Amino acid sequence: MRPYSQAFEAWVASGEQDKSRLLRGQALKDASYWAQGKSLSDLDYQFLAASQDVDRQELQLFLEAERLKEVEARLALKKKKCQTPNIFDWGTFVCFSECDRRRNIRVLPVPKSPRQPTQ
């Protein structure tokens, strides 16, 4: 008897359309290990192949989301760095963006401090 029989039967009953019935993660690994060396029906192989496809797609989406979080964090850090002055030049405040020093330059006048009277 299949260790994944309930999921398999529910998937077949859905006309092989209900992706929520497919195996993922450790359940998929266990089923694949169990299936090695066995002569299964075509429908069993289709179920396991569809499960592998869905598992792979979900892993890919997860990895892309994690990468996007990393990129957003790096961009936020660069934006924060640019808000802090990092280059001074003769009374002019210049902030260069790390990502594009040529096109993203802001030049602001530095306020002059009041002079102290000389004695």
Model pLDDT for residues 6-41, shown as the tens digit of each residue: 999 999 999 999 999 999 999 999 999 999 999 999
**113 or 50, higher pLDDT:** 50
pLDDT of residue 84: 56
- The tens digit of pLDDT for each residue in 69-90 reads 998 888 888 877 766 555 544 4
pLDDT, mean over the chain: 80
Rg of the chain, C-alpha, whole Å: 30
DSSP H helices in the chain: 5-13, 25-35, 42-82
Q: What is the pLDDT of residue 100?
A: 47
- Reported as a single tens digit per residue, the pLDDT across 44-58 is 999 999 999 999 999
What is the pTM for the complete model shown? Answer: 0.62
Q: Is the distance from CB of 53 to CB of 23 less than 8 angstroms?
A: no
Confidence of residue 105 (pLDDT cuts 50, 70, 90): low
What is the β-pairing status of strands 87-89 and 105-109? unpaired
Q: How far apart are CA 46 and CA 25, in angstroms?
A: 17
